[in-house]
Structure 1
Amino acid sequence: MDNLVKEPAPKYNFISPKEYLEMERASDEKHEYFDGQVYNMSGASLKHIKIAVNLTIQIGKFLEDKECNVLAENMRTTNADRSSYMYPDVIIVCGKEELEDDKFDTLLNPAVIFEILSPSTQNVDKGRKLLYYQLIPSLKEYFMIDTIKQRIYIVKKQPDGKWVYNTPVEGDKSILIETIQFNLPLSAIYKGTGI
């Protein structure tokens, strides 16, 4: 049976973004921040970890000698008004990385974000996180990867700035990461997971 990861209740009463960053940088654990509330991040299942590694390897190979890079799950990102700080599972950043300050641990300009869903966190990833991610000016695509079956939900920013849900991609198909013009088969994303 897979590890079941539950969404915890907020860890602290309202704190400012500055207080959050000070606390987070001194902590051995990771926490996410949404409108003054801090949430402890729990561990990931084996399937989750394998999917993250598969994404990082496949995208990393494709991006060799290109202007974009892939970053793994320990890079924090924030939105334009600093009302949230999140740790996406995988990020693609194009051009020079823009960082919040001289601590070099908070990315301001992700172009593509991947979140790997679990039964207990998928509502957060499809709801609250999606809303906050849409407030990142540089973000163009958001992929939510199911861990129950081979299915990926895709939300993309249109030229007019509106966000559109695409039909989920399932089975033996590929996803197109338009930002880097890369077709990635689902079989490569789910390799070794038994899904």
Structure 2
Amino acid sequence: MTEPAYQTMTEEEYLRWDGPRDAKWEYVDGFVYAQAGATNPHNRISSNIQRVLLNATDDGPCWTYISDQKVRVYRDGRPRYYLPDIVVVCDPQLVGDTETQPCLIVEILSASTRAIDETFKATDYRQLDSLQGYLLVDSERQRVIFHRRTAQGWQLEQVAEAVKLPCLNVSLSVAAIYRNVPRL
């Protein structure tokens, strides 16, 4: 996230707001944050992951969204709206144009987003009852981390070769993620 707008908004104002088109906007604790533009490696990684996910959703009840789908979470009873890089949904629960029941969320890390994605967003996303996995993919070096919901709670996996993704029951390899991405 970048610096917040200086004036606060209510949730209703944010959902009606049609902010400047040169950025995407997340809503956290009454503040609106512009999202930084994506780099070439970020976009290639996103496309590579989406290619695998689209093939896995071809004939099933699930589908994927890329970067413009709002996901609503709550922290301390207050709503937050994030725009994950990729969202997989198998049981749609849209409220307006906002998803509330994702089963898999992917964030692609960069210097400007890494700390937020690995801490605040990880905590907030894992509060969603529907979420089965949270995949973090680094765009500046080959590093993939997967948070998996299990019967015992959340497990963190450092992905060396491939990860079996929940919801879609598909394997995503590190090689596929970083295919045609300039050497990191």
TM normalised by structure 2 equals: 0.90
- Residue equivalent to 1:4: none
Aligned length: 180
The letter for the 2-side match of 1:92 is V
How do residues 8-19 of structure 1 correspond to structure 2 at under 5 angstroms? 8-19=2-13
SS in 1 for 2:94: coil
Runs of 4+ in 1 over 4 A off after TM superposition: none
The letter for the 2-side match of 1:12 is Y
- CA positional deviation for 1:64: 1.1
CA distance in 2, matches of 1:137, 1:112: 11
Computed over aligned residues only, the root mean square deviation of the Cα atoms, in angstroms, reads 1.7
1:100 paired to 2:88: no
SS in 2 for 1:83: strand
Determine if contact 1:54/1:188 at 8 Å carries over to the other structure: yes
1:185 paired to 2:179: no
- CA positional deviation for 1:190: 0.8
1:33 paired to 2:36: no
SS in 1 for 2:95: coil
- CA positional deviation for 1:74: 1.1
CA distance in 2, matches of 1:158, 1:140: 8
- Residue equivalent to 1:155: 147
1:90 paired to 2:86: yes
Identity in percent:
28
The letter for the 2-side match of 1:59 is L
The letter for the 2-side match of 1:183 is S
SS in 1 for 2:41: helix
**C-alpha deviations, 1:14-65, integer Å up to 9, x for none?**
3221121122x45423111112221111201000011111111111012210
Determine if contact 1:17/1:82 at 8 Å carries over to the other structure: no
CA distance in 2, matches of 1:134, 1:14: 26
- Residue equivalent to 2:155: 164
Identify the structure with the greater strand proportion: 2
The letter for the 1-side match of 2:146 is I
SS in 2 for 1:79: strand
- CA positional deviation for 1:82: 5.4
How do residues 128-139 of structure 1 correspond to structure 2 at under 5 angstroms? 128-139=120-131
The letter for the 1-side match of 2:83 is Y
CA distance in 2, matches of 1:176, 1:54: 16
TM normalised by structure 1 equals: 0.85
Q: Gaps (5+ residues) in structure 2?
A: none
- CA positional deviation for 1:90: 0.7
How do residues 27-66 of structure 1 correspond to structure 2 at under 5 angstroms? 27-28=20-21, 29-66=23-60
Q: Gaps (5+ residues) in structure 1?
A: 1-6
